Amino acid sequence: MSIDLEKRCLLCEELISKEIDSREHLIPNSIGGRKKVSGFLCVDCNSKSGDNWESALARQMNPLSLFFRINRERGNAPSQKFQTNSGDEWVLNADGSLDLPRPIFKEQKNENGVEINISARNMAEAKKMLKGVARKYPQLDADELLEKAQSKSSYSQNPIKLNLSFGGLDAGRSFVKTVLALVSTIGVSVRDCEHAIQFLKEEESEPCFGYYYERDLVLERPSGIPIHIVHVNGDPDSNLIRGYVEYFGVMRVVMCLSSSYIGSAFSATYSIDPTTGKELDLDVDLDLTSTDIRKAYSYEKWDGSAVQQAMGSVIGPALEIQHKEERERVLEEAVRYAFANCGAKEGETITEEQHNRLMGLLWEKLEPWVLNQLVGRHRRD
């Protein structure tokens, strides 16, 4: 095993000083990575690879980042527009909330005059729209209308379609760079990984990664957790340095970093739960031959049913957690709203009239959620 006595940038090979050390995320921050490595990339190369390789990966993984509400060290996953099975459009946010993709303005004339319906994404937007209406119809009092406006929860009556698209050389280079970042933390020279270096540096070089679903390589996989895991091992008997990357328990990638390794045997694994940022203690059984890995390059180890099974094993538990959290949020908000508006003061005995008003206010807030549950249950039945 050779050791880097001086740290040079993986890509440009410039000697890395403290001033230009990028402290690269081992797993990209965009999908919830936390651990950082030093002496791996210079600031300029980190920026360039981030703009290309990491950006491609982040776009592919963003639906899952939003769905699992990942815990990022810096910033939030960007909101994204999705369609439901019925063709409706919603914007999914990092906290799991849904927004209209745009405000809705409907104006319809009838025998009594003009009926105007406005649906806005927030009160500031509603106020702006109402002022526009008031300019068109001066007899309307925009401030009075705004006082009567209410914030109301709504739910999609159809499931959102998470259309996932895996692949591409830019995302592939992100995978390979991540494994090399792990290599750099264990005293092994990344220069020993000739296939990986060539793939990252030469645009026309052969890819050294492929998708693998023939069997589960993660040992004692934790149930229901959308894990991120990175593994590398060096085997002088086979002369191979092999790598494995898995994101969200779904995207599973094997790679051959070297086929001429003659150093000491080594193995290293790093894994986290991206929903919490907590590091996990897991390992990978990556004892594949070069032939097996090459078959993965040409999609011979891809299995659509295995991908669906992997998705179901993490999405189902996440949906249960989100359902429980939403129920608790709705109940807490309904109780707070009802007591604040029923007319009763703290410490006083509630009158029958206040009790009736309290029940009405509770139902007002609970109705959208309850109806959504009934519709969902009817469809399942």
Q: Which two tokens stand for residue 123?
A: 């009160």
Tell whether 28 and 174 lie within a shared domain: yes
Q: Which two tokens stand for residue 64?
A: 């899952």
Tell whether 358 and 297 lie within a shared domain: no
pLDDT given for residue 1 in this prediction? 46
Tell whether 29 and 140 lie within a shared domain: no
Could you read off the pLDDT of 101-128 as tens digits, one per residue? Answer: 888 778 888 777 777 777 777 777 877 8
Q: Do the Cβ atoms of 21 and 38 come closer than 8 Å? A: yes
Residue 150 scores a pLDDT above 70: no
Tell whether 171 and 282 lie within a shared domain: yes
pLDDT given for residue 309 in this prediction? 94
Q: Do the Cβ atoms of 32 and 72 come closer than 8 Å? A: yes
* Average pLDDT estimate for 291-299: 95
Confidence of residue 339 (pLDDT cuts 50, 70, 90): confident
Within 10 Å of residue 58's Cβ, how many Cβ atoms? 19
Domain that holds residue 346: 314-380
Could you read off the pLDDT of 342-362 as tens digits, one per residue? Answer: 888 887 888 888 888 888 888
Tell whether 253 and 363 lie within a shared domain: no
Residue 75 belongs to a domain: no
- CA atoms of 224 and 114, how far apart (whole Å): 53
Q: How far is CA 12 from CA 16, 43, 49, 308, in A?
A: 10, 11, 12, 40
- CA atoms of 170 and 59, how far apart (whole Å): 11
Tell whether 257 and 215 lie within a shared domain: yes
pLDDT given for residue 238 in this prediction? 96
* CA of residue 125 relative to chain centroid, distance: 28
pLDDT given for residue 372 in this prediction? 65
Could you read off the pLDDT of 210-223 as tens digits, one per residue? Answer: 999 999 999 999 99
Tell whether 251 and 328 lie within a shared domain: no
Residue 250 belongs to a domain: yes
Tell whether 174 and 291 lie within a shared domain: yes
pLDDT given for residue 158 in this prediction? 66
pLDDT given for residue 200 in this prediction? 96
Confidence of residue 140 (pLDDT cuts 50, 70, 90): confident
Among the candidates 242, 270, 302, a domain finishes at 302
CB contact set of 29 (below 8 Å; sequence gap of 6+):
72, 73, 74, 75
Residue whose entry in the numeric block shows the structure tokens 């026309």: 204
Residue 90 scores a pLDDT above 80: yes
Domain count, the chain: 3
Among the candidates 148, 179, 202, a domain finishes at 148
Could you read off the pLDDT of 12-53 as tens digits, one per residue? Answer: 999 999 999 999 899 999 999 999 999 999 999 999 998 899
Tell whether 180 and 49 lie within a shared domain: yes
Residue 73 belongs to a domain: no
Lowest mean pLDDT among 105-114, 157-166, 221-230, 244-253: 157-166
Tell whether 201 and 296 lie within a shared domain: yes
pLDDT given for residue 2 in this prediction? 46
Residue 78 belongs to a domain: no
Confidence of residue 3 (pLDDT cuts 50, 70, 90): very low
- CA atoms of 215 and 306, how far apart (whole Å): 9
Residue 9 belongs to a domain: no
Residue 74 belongs to a domain: no
* Average pLDDT estimate for 303-330: 87
Q: Do the Cβ atoms of 265 and 308 come closer than 8 Å? A: no
Residue 158 belongs to a domain: no
Residue 189 belongs to a domain: yes
pLDDT given for residue 356 in this prediction? 87
Tell whether 294 and 319 lie within a shared domain: no
CB contact set of 351 (below 8 Å; sequence gap of 6+):
344
Query: Could you give the angle at the alpha carbon of 25 between the alpha carbons of 20 and 26, nearest 5°?
Result: 120
Q: How far is CA 53 from CA 59, 214, 251, 299, 362, in A?
A: 10, 26, 16, 21, 50
Across the chain, what does the average pLDDT equal? 87
Among the candidates 302, 326, 353, a domain finishes at 302
Q: How far is CA 173 from CA 58, 204, 247, in A?
A: 13, 13, 15
Tell whether 242 and 276 lie within a shared domain: yes
